[in-house]
Amino acid sequence: MGVGATPGPLARGPWTADQVRVRWRETQFTPPAAATAVADAALDALRDRGSPTDDGLSARMASFEAAPDRLELELEPVRWSLRLAIEGAEGISALCVVRDADGRWLAGRRAAWVASWPGRWALGAGGAVDLGESPVQTLARELHEEWSVAAQRLTAEALVRLPSGLVLLVGMARLDAGAQVTMDAEHETYAWWPPDIGEWPAEADEPLRRMAGLLLS
């Protein structure tokens, strides 16, 4: 089916890594000229505030099919910077929510120079899907790049469309007891929030609580 335009959950898992199947189109997505101009300006603004961002190719979700035992994604190459445009390519990214052996949630405050959620708290790790990559591979890669840790168990939990148009493959990483995380330069600080969402601190804003609630439902 097509991606659709309404924000909210598109499909609900969980799916194991081998149940997520990806097919890449050979042709690159062609955006409207207005979206390209907005993306160019947004990229320049990012660089002006110190971001080392490079504008390579990422992924756009053209269609998907979901069932309890599988998730099939059709992706096409697209300029990464188009996700910075209000009316752009509706790219796909991966969000790897992380919980430790005690059920606590890993949260990090993003650095001011990053492209997504600058200066705000976010759950786990996340980022754009690289060309030729499966979003499940993105989950594991971002977890390692941002927190220098590997999951004891990793599942794809949901496909969600954000109000911005961006589609997220949301995964859940469970860590071994005693696993240690080391944050990267994209974060200013981090914390382990309690298992009970109702006990989260004030900096845990409503979008984060809704995302965690979706994973618990």
Q: State how far the Cα of 98 lies from the Cα of 172, in Å rounded to an integer.
A: 6
Q: Is residue 140 part of a domain?
A: yes
pLDDT at residue 2 above 70?
Answer: no
Q: Is residue 2 part of a domain?
A: no
pLDDT at residue 13 above 60?
Answer: yes
Q: Is residue 3 part of a domain?
A: no
Q: Is residue 87 part of a domain?
A: yes
pLDDT at residue 115 above 90?
Answer: no
Compare 88 and 213 and report the one with higher pLDDT: 213
Domain of residue 88, CATH code: 3.90.79.10
Measuring CA to CA, how many Å separate 11 from each of 47, 170, 205? Answer: 35, 10, 24
Q: pLDDT tens digit string along 34-63?
A: 878 877 887 788 788 777 777 788 999 999
pLDDT of residue 88: 53
If one counts the domains in the chain, the total is 1
Beta pairing, strands 187-193 & 105-110: antiparallel
Structure token digits, residue 142: 């971002």
Q: State how far the Cα of 10 lies from the Cα of 3, in Å rounded to an integer.
A: 8
Residue ranges making up the domain that contains 29: 8-216
Compare 163 and 131 and report the one with higher pLDDT: 131
Per-residue pLDDT averaged across 191-202, rounded? 98
Q: pLDDT tens digit string along 67-112?
A: 999 999 999 999 887 777 655 556 899 999 999 999 999 999 999 9
Ranked by mean pLDDT, the top range of 2-11, 83-92, 185-194 is 185-194
Q: Is residue 113 part of a domain?
A: yes
pLDDT of residue 113: 86
- Return the number of other C-beta atoms located less than 10 Å from residue 162's C-beta: 14
Please, what sign has the CA dihedral across residues 200, 203, 206, 208? Answer: negative
pLDDT > 70 in the chain, percent: 94
Q: Is residue 1 part of a domain?
A: no
Cβ pair 151, 175 in contact under 8 A: yes
Q: Is residue 96 part of a domain?
A: yes
Per-residue pLDDT averaged across 138-166, rounded? 95
pLDDT of residue 4: 52
pLDDT of residue 86: 57
What letter would DSSP give residue 96? E
pLDDT of residue 87: 55
Please, what sign has the CA dihedral across residues 196, 201, 109, 91? Answer: positive
Mean pLDDT of the chain: 91
Residue-wise DSSP of 193-217: E-SSGGG--TTS-HHHHHHHHHHH-
Structure token digits, residue 37: 């101009």
Q: Is residue 119 part of a domain?
A: yes
Compare 84 and 33 and report the one with higher pLDDT: 33
